[in-house]
Amino acid sequence: MTRLDGARVLVTGASSGIGRAVALRCAAAGAELVLSGRDETRLVEVATATGGTAVTADLSRPGAAAELAGLAGPVDVLVCCAGAGLAGPFGSDGAGLDALVRLNFTATVELVRSVLGTMRSSGRGHVVVVSSVAGRLPVRDEVVYGATKAAVDHFAAALRTELRGSGVGISAVAPAGVDTPFFDRRGTPYRRTRPRLLRPEKVADAVVAAIERDLPEVVVPRWLRLAYVIRALLPRLYDRLSHRLD
């Protein structure tokens, strides 16, 4: 269990969407923030609103994650929110693959590795990775994006087994569609009627719950966990039903 009041929290992707909402929510809970993103103007706006420190970084650049961790200094909590989408039928979505994997997966692993030593030696701390429902349920036209999120998800779950008893926790928060600039940036709108687009504040609440209650994972909205269960127990039924979600 990690208290946010007085904790030093590093949030990546804090210049927009979910990361911005997480930053505002953590500041309201009394955290001291280090905020990372690429767009300096938007990042400084969030830093001003939260009393946090802004550190710009392009996390798709090799070495950037370790540099960011060095600039941030020791933190009690790390929230890895920076990420981007890639949409389109497999084969037409190839551009930017390396950068996408570096941003969505490699930078997350490197950041966690960079902050974990201090957390372990102090016997406390918490990491949250923002994965995606697309990393757990197969979603057409998000094949590669979903795979990067599945990798992050599995990384967090497996690392949690190694951290047992260390006082350090790690959680994965897996949202469905969230109303942020994510879709404009990837160039393809959100087309589903269900699940409805979530507000980023709802995901921020899930991130805070994961930190404060040391939850292994949080799916937002919660009812989608039912789809995981059906897929795990009855894969052929899931395969048939999932066409209705497409």
Ligand X SMILES: NC(=O)c1ccc[n+]([C@@H]2O[C@H](COP(=O)([O-])OP(=O)(O)OC[C@H]3O[C@@H](n4cnc5c(N)ncnc54)[C@H](OP(=O)(O)O)[C@@H]3O)[C@@H](O)[C@H]2O)c1
CB 132 within 8 A of CB 27: no
Q: For residues 197 and 237, which CB has a smaller minimum distance to ligand X in the complex?
A: 197
Minimum distance of ligand X from residue 190's CB (angstroms): 7
The structure tokens listed for 25 are 């929510």
**Selection from 7, 40, 4 nearest residue 25 by Cα:** 4
Q: For residues 11 and 116, which CB has a smaller minimum distance to ligand X in the complex?
A: 11
Q: For residues 62 and 123, which CB has a smaller minimum distance to ligand X in the complex?
A: 62
Q: For residues 31 and 178, which CB has a smaller minimum distance to ligand X in the complex?
A: 178
Binding residues for ligand X (CB under 6 A): 13, 15-19, 37-39, 42, 57-60, 81-84, 103, 130, 132, 175, 177-178, 180-182, 185
Minimum distance of ligand X from residue 119's CB (angstroms): 22
Minimum distance of ligand X from residue 109's CB (angstroms): 14
Determine the Cα–Cα distance for residues 226 and 127; give it in Å rounded to an integer.
25
Please confirm, yes or no, whether 190 is among the known catalytic residues: no
Determine the Cα–Cα distance for residues 81 and 74; give it in Å rounded to an integer.
18
Minimum distance of ligand X from residue 37's CB (angstroms): 3
Q: For residues 107 and 168, which CB has a smaller minimum distance to ligand X in the complex?
A: 107
**Selection from 80, 67, 33 nearest residue 52 by Cα:** 33
Of 145, 190, 228, 238, which residue is the catalytic one? 145
Report, as residue numbers or ranges, the catalytic residues: 145
